[in-house]
Amino acid sequence: MSLLLKNNKMGRTKSHIKNIACLESLWDEDIENRLSVSPILELVSKMDGVKYTYLTCSTIEELKYNLTLLKRKKGYGILYLAFHGSLGKIILAESPIDIETLATFMGKGFKDWIVHFGSCGTIDVGKDRIKNFIKATDVSMVLGYKKEVDWIDSAALDLLILDWLQEYKDMLKFWKMLKSDYKDLILITGLKAFHK
């Protein structure tokens, strides 16, 4: 069996590279056999030559502090939020945070970034709430799952998303191509994208 590596089929240039900032909470209380998205980040980093910053986040204070740290990162363009989720919320160990509060914590420090909610159902809210989140943060695109998602399904799609984002400068084209190539996985997970 051979491994086929991509050969810049999309004409990748340095201007397309988007380093990744990830915040992740605990998925369950099994801290010895802890699930984590960090292998996804490592794989994308090695395959695509991108940098990533990975921080754990279980409390509101950690969330605020870590977002403040990430705002200062130069050359980053993707905020990957790996949390449990519910309608319009990400769930920290101590309590849920709605997307409006998250937008307040983020401020305009992530202008033109892409935010990917790797969390179940967070964006299963009215389009106005997502548009308000985009307006409040000035991010260029929001992606996320409208359904409760199997961990492996979402991990596979998160890997594809983070990889494919490196191929495109035009996010509308990115979304069109991703939907075309992975329509079944997108349908299963309820992945949606919203643009500025």
Residue type, 34: R
Structural domain count, the chain: 1
Burial of 39 from C-beta contacts in 10 A (0-12 / 13-18 / 19+): exposed
Does residue 9 belong to any structural domain of this protein?
no
Residue-wise pLDDT for 66-89, tens only, equals 999 999 888 999 999 999 999 999
**Whole-model pTM?**
0.90
What pLDDT does 182 receive?
96
Does residue 6 belong to any structural domain of this protein?
no
Does residue 80 belong to any structural domain of this protein?
yes
Strand partners, 19: 76
Does residue 2 belong to any structural domain of this protein?
no
Tell whether the model's pLDDT for residue 144 goes beyond 50: yes
